[in-house]
Structure 1
Amino acid sequence: MKIVIINYGAGNIQSIMFAIERLGFKAVLSNDPEEIQQADKVIFPGVGEASSAMKKLKESGLDNLIPNLKQPVLGICLGMQLMCKSSEEGDTKGLGIFDVDVIKFTSKVKVPQMGWNQIYDLKSDLFKGISENEFMYLVHSFYAPNCIEAIATTNYELEYASALQKDNFYGTQFHPEKSGAVGEKILENFLKI
């Protein structure tokens, strides 16, 4: 199986590589459109700020490639947010895969949400063998509101979508690669899709 992690200069790439290796697979880092298209599975990571990450995607033409991929694609954290219609962070137009706009938590809560929080209302093969209310690791100041494409929910000030799915596209606001055995099981489930 060929696993490609999209390398566009805005990713938590090493920890994802190590998590995949622990599962017995090898991943390739690439920003080459041809190599990404030939992958069996694509992981779209992201750490950083939405508008500068989107600028990097546009510079490499990946903004046109990613929404047209046919194989399973997993966006993680900022990767998931960039797959949405837009983000309030830097007033960024997203890839438009998920029909939801990413917004900022209000000042009523500590921002960023950093640390462990529960996921529930699990609705996808991504969560096969995962119990409701498991704890996942999150670091974010912006969130996707609950919507029709939500496949997991988390509560921090309010309920929001901590995972999304549409067709072959999956997104997690949490970091499965930093969420221990449960996170690795979610990555393994993705690789089996």
Structure 2
Amino acid sequence: MDLQISVFLLFVVFTAGHSLRCYECMGLTGSCADQTLKTCPSGFSQCMSTTAVKQDGGSTSKGTIKNCAPACQSVSMNFGISKTTTSCCSSDLCNAQDPPEPVPNGKKCYYCDGKSCSNTVSCLGTEDHCIKATVAYGGQSAVVKGCASKSVCDATASVSGFASFLCCEGNLCNGAQSVSQSFLFLCCSLLSYFLLH
């Protein structure tokens, strides 16, 4: 009996002292060239790796961040001109690789490019929802549209800074209502012009 208690106590001592280790880096010009090992602080139970890609005209820029995370969900967002993919894992040094490049899944959503919000983008990987958000910043507001994983939609309730946020599941569902309202407004304007002149 004493041997069982001793073995149990040794197990508790060794497992309680083990902290998760993750790679940490910030690669602002692509993948991380220099990754360092980091012992995660208490309460950080996952490793994460995030890659962001931005297309500006003919050039593409990529950045990667790896670190410990208190809680993490593997997600993907695609705004046509930029996309972000985060992968999460919970074993030692499991974030050595960049998140895998997601492949098109057949779903399409509208996105905005600064001039128009009627462009379409092919959703990738786990992006199973279309999103439309109005972001308010410094007295200005901007509309963003694109594809996102369901977990992004579920998490928006806790994120501030959005004047409005809509998630929907059908193809091109993030623009049909605003397009039909614009079309209805245009028709009514034209009808009133012809009736009054």
What is the TM-score of this pair, normalised by structure 2? 0.25
Q: Which structure carries more strand by proportion?
A: 2
Q: TM-score, normalised on structure 1?
A: 0.26
Higher RCO by CA contacts (8 Å cutoff, separation 6 or greater): 1
Q: Which protein has the bigger helix share? A: 1
